[in-house]
Amino acid sequence: MPWSHRFDDPIPLPDGRELVTLEDAASFIQRLPKAEQQLEEWQTAAHCLIGAAEGRDFLMHARIGVLRALNRDRPRPARDRKRVKAYKIVR
């Protein structure tokens, strides 16, 4: 898959721009400060991008990797847990 391949849905950036292709995402990561590039989330995103460009990984994995790296500082939303029903086992 070429670097010019488009994501199914563009990746929105905090400043309002969008990453549309694999190449856009790779360029974005390359422009990050070196210390930030070395973070595990960005390393994983870059690995997934390369894998998708070389046809070894899915495009969706690359998209998810970039989104996870972009949102690494945000707390995960709390899930509403449904109350578990108590069942009695009858023998």
Q: Give the pLDDT confidence of 12-48 residue by residue, as tens digits.
A: 999 999 999 999 999 999 999 999 999 999 999 999 9
Distances (CA, A) of 12 to 2, 52, 77, 78: 21, 19, 19, 23
Judge whether 59 lies within some domain.
yes
Judge whether 76 lies within some domain.
no
- C-alpha closest to that of 64 among 19, 3, 33, 31: 19
Judge whether 81 lies within some domain.
no
Say what the pTM is: 0.79
Judge whether 79 lies within some domain.
no
Q: How far is CA 73 from the centre of its chain?
A: 13
Judge whether 91 lies within some domain.
no
Average pLDDT over residues 66-76: 90
Provide the domain limits for residue 30. Answer: 6-70
Dig out the tokens for 61 from the structure. 């994995």
How many domains does the chain contain in total? 1
Judge whether 10 lies within some domain.
yes
Specify the amino acid at residue 90.
Answer: V
Give the up-direction half-sphere exposure of residue 90: CA atoms within 13 A in the CB hemisphere. 0
